[in-house]
Amino acid sequence: MASFHFKGKTFLQNYHHAVKFHNLAAQKSKGLSKSPSLDDNLVIHGDNLKALKALLPTHAGKVKCIYIDPPYNTGNEGWAYNDNVASPMIQEWLGKVVARDDLTRHDKWACMMYPRLTLLRELLQDDGVIFISIDDNEVHHLRMLMDEIFGEENLLQELVWKRHSGGGNDSRYFAQDHEYVLGYAKNKLNIPSLRLSLNEDEKKQYVGKDEHFKTLGPYKTKSFRRMRENDPRPGLQYEIDAPDGTKIANEWKWEKNNFLRAFADKKIIIRKDKKGKWQVEYKIYLNDGENERTKVPRSLLLKEERNSDGKTQLEEIFQKDNIFNNPKPIGLMKHFLKFSSDTDSLILDSFAGSGTTGHAVLALNKEDGGNRKFILIECEDYADKITAERMRRIIKGVPTASNEELKAGLGGTFSYYELGEELNMDNLLAGKKLPSYEDLAKYAFFTATGEKFDPKKLDEKTFYIGSSSTFEVFLMYSADKSKLKKLALNLEFAEQIHKKFPARPKLVFAPACFIEDYHLKEFNIRFAQLPFEIYRMAE
Encode pLDDT of 413-423 as tens digits: 999 999 988 87
Q: What is the CATH number of domain 9-195+296-419?
A: 3.40.50.150
Separation CA 259–CA 252 (nearest Å) = 9
> What are the residues facing 411 on neighbouring strands?
none
pLDDT, residue 121, reads 97
Its pTM stands at 0.83
CB atoms within 10 A of CB 476: 19
Q: What is the mean pLDDT of the chain?
A: 90
pLDDT tens-digit series, residues 244-275: 999 999 999 999 999 999 999 999 999 999 99
- Nearest 5°: phi and psi at 403? -75, 125
CA 464, 470, 471: angle at the middle one, nearest 5?
A: 20
pLDDT > 90? residue 78: no
Percent of the chain past pLDDT 70, that is, above it, reads 96
With left for phi above 0 and alpha for psi between -120 and 50, is residue 180 left, alpha or beta? beta
Residue 44 in contact with residue 391, Cβ under 8 Å?
no
Separation CA 124–CA 130 (nearest Å) = 8
Separation CA 55–CA 121 (nearest Å) = 12
First-to-last alpha carbon distance for the chain, in angstroms, is 29
Separation CA 491–CA 503 (nearest Å) = 18
Q: What mean pLDDT comes out for the span 164-179?
A: 80
Q: Using a CB cutoff of 8 Å and minimum separation of 24, what contacts does 310-319 make?
A: 310/354, 310/356, 313/359, 314/354, 314/390, 316/398, 316/401, 316/402, 316/403, 316/406, 317/390, 317/393, 317/394, 317/398, 317/401, 317/406, 318/389, 318/390, 318/393, 319/398, 319/400, 319/401
Separation CA 535–CA 537 (nearest Å) = 6
**Burial tier of 350 (Cβ tally within 10 Å: 0-12, 13-18, 19+):** buried
Of 77 and 25, the one with more pLDDT: 25
Largest CA distance in the chain: 99
Domain boundaries, the chain: 9-195+296-419, 200-293, 423-529
Local confidence band at 486 (pLDDT 50, 70, 90 cut-offs): confident
* Closest C-alpha among 1, 7, 56 to residue 375: 56
Would you call 465 helix, strand, or coil by DSSP?
Answer: strand
CA 501, 507, 512: angle at the middle one, nearest 5?
A: 120
Residue 504 CA, distance from chain mean position:
34
pLDDT, residue 534, reads 38
pLDDT tens-digit series, residues 492-521: 999 999 999 999 999 999 988 899 888 999
pLDDT, residue 537, reads 30
Helix spans in 319-377 (H) = 330-340, 356-368
pLDDT, residue 538, reads 26
The reply to whether omega before 531 is within 30° of 0 (cis) is yes
pLDDT tens-digit series, residues 446-457: 878 888 888 999
pLDDT > 80? residue 465: yes
Question: Could you give the count of Cα atoms lying within 13 Å of 496 in the half-sphere of its Cβ?
Answer: 10
pLDDT tens-digit series, residues 222-240: 999 998 878 889 999 999 9
pLDDT > 50? residue 173: yes
Residue 240 in contact with residue 248, Cβ under 8 Å?
yes
pLDDT, residue 425, reads 60
Q: Which residues contact 244 (CB under 8 A, 6 or more apart)?
A: none
pLDDT, residue 426, reads 59
Residue 187 in contact with residue 154, Cβ under 8 Å?
yes
pLDDT > 80? residue 431: no
Separation CA 46–CA 536 (nearest Å) = 26
